[in-house]
Structure 1
Amino acid sequence: MVPIMADNDCRATLIEVATPLFAEKGFNGVSVREIAGLAGVNVSMISYYFGGKEGLYGAVLNEQFAVLQRVAKIAHTATDPLKKFELYVRDTVARYRRNPYLLRFYAGELTNPTPCFATIVKPAIQEVVKTLQEFFTDGLSHHQFREGLEPTDTALALAGMINFYFLLEPATGELVDHSPERDEELIRHIMDIFANGVLK
């Protein structure tokens, strides 16, 4: 069947419609008929553009996790390890503001992995951890972080601190202000809490 709307428009619409559905219901909780119905296209378009539901889900994950590539670019925008640390914190907070479904995909794939975990999610996460390892190893070599600091554990602790803050937002809304207007204060607090444990 020949697509009615332009190729790029139809493909983009399917990804746009499928993203919140997959994020909220998981891969197994969404049907191709539901996606096609909300996108206003024939269900055969999912096979036409993506080869099926798994291909569409993979395209959604690729788009979501592509934002993590920005972390590696931080290494080329600053030379001071402490500045890289700050840029990572800022970029991560901004990332979750721009991509509200990303953490849902994180949590879903970590707790109930699909075949896309090994090919898309795991490599993306590993690249972030490796980049953070390099930041902290660099800081150790410049004597900016205390001796004995283990770069991998430190990288995971930093990433976990920020991720968990946003992941718990639905459960802690009555306890803390999660509004974007508070982001600068949040960034300062994260840096203070974390850096004071690693600075000499």
Structure 2
Amino acid sequence: MEKDNKEKLIEAGEKLFAQKGLTGVSIRELSQAAGTNSALISYYFGGKEGLYSTILETQFLPMVMMLDSMAELKASPKEKIISYAKCVARIHRKSPFLTKFLMGELTNPSRFFEIIVRKYIERVYRFLTETLKEGIERGEFRPDIDVNAASLTLAGMMNFYFIARPISRHFAPGGPEQDDSYVEQAVEIFLNGVMPYAGK
């Protein structure tokens, strides 16, 4: 089925905003890339910033869906950590521009960082810290770990791999199999660090 003009503008915006950021893209560029009239940007989104915010929400929404689905799981903290890592990998594979939007907003934040991006990052962070606290309470994880530092470590391990993928694929080639192998090993390394030492 042929895409409508709104879909075309979102698709064009994803590519252009991911490459150049909000300020680096003109309305003319967006309409030309989408093959639509520039007036439709205002009609559908209220302007260029409205299109950008719509795309940001679309990029980060899978994170919330992931957390909502895991909240329904009757799983141990360890199992939740493993599920989180696998879900992050799936999200990155399905959303190839997510890393660029994430890095762009972290290094050169637009006014939408506080409105949109931060709330999603905070939800992930809250999920991880609460899961680690639960693991400590249940004796699955070491009582001396810093849950804040551990949460940032895990999020970094999972996301940096995909952020660095354009470079790392030259010395660690491979497709989804390589990604899955990385996730499996990274989670194992993380869990070995937070689980109680043998004999203690």
TM-score range, shorter chain: over 0.9
Instruction: Trace 1:176-191 onto structure 2 (pairs within 5 A).
Output: 176-191=172-187
Deviation at 1:78, TM superposition (A): 3.2
Deviation at 1:173, TM superposition (A): 2.0
3-state SS of 1:28 partner: coil
1:36 corresponds to which of 31, 38, 46: 31
Deviation at 1:10, TM superposition (A): 2.0
Give distance in 2, aligned partners of 1:68 and 1:131. Answer: 11
Q: Contact conserved, 1:72 with 1:131, CA < 8 A, in 2?
A: no
Q: Contact conserved, 1:14 with 1:39, CA < 8 A, in 2?
A: yes
1:96 to 2:84 alignment = no
3-state SS of 1:86 partner: helix
1:108 corresponds to which of 104, 111, 114: 104
Q: Contact conserved, 2:158 with 2:183, CA < 8 A, in 1?
A: no
Output the aligned Cα RMSD. Answer: 1.5
2:80 corresponds to which of 71, 78, 84: 84
Q: Normalising by structure 2, what TM-score?
A: 0.92
Gaps of 5+ in 2: none
Deviations 1:51-81 (A, max 9, x none): 1111110001010010110124212213211
3-state SS of 2:4 partner: helix
Deviation at 1:20, TM superposition (A): 1.0
Per the alignment, residue 199 of structure 1 pairs with: 195
Q: Contact conserved, 2:18 with 2:100, CA < 8 A, in 1?
A: yes
Deviation at 1:38, TM superposition (A): 1.6
AA aligned to 1:133 is T
Per the alignment, residue 58 of structure 1 pairs with: 53
Q: Normalising by structure 1, what TM-score?
A: 0.92
Per the alignment, residue 160 of structure 2 pairs with: 164
Deviation at 1:108, TM superposition (A): 0.2
Give distance in 2, aligned partners of 1:64 and 1:161. Answer: 20
Q: Contact conserved, 2:21 with 2:104, CA < 8 A, in 1?
A: yes
Deviation at 1:118, TM superposition (A): 0.7
The number of aligned residues is 194
Give distance in 1, aligned partners of 2:89 and 2:31. Answer: 33
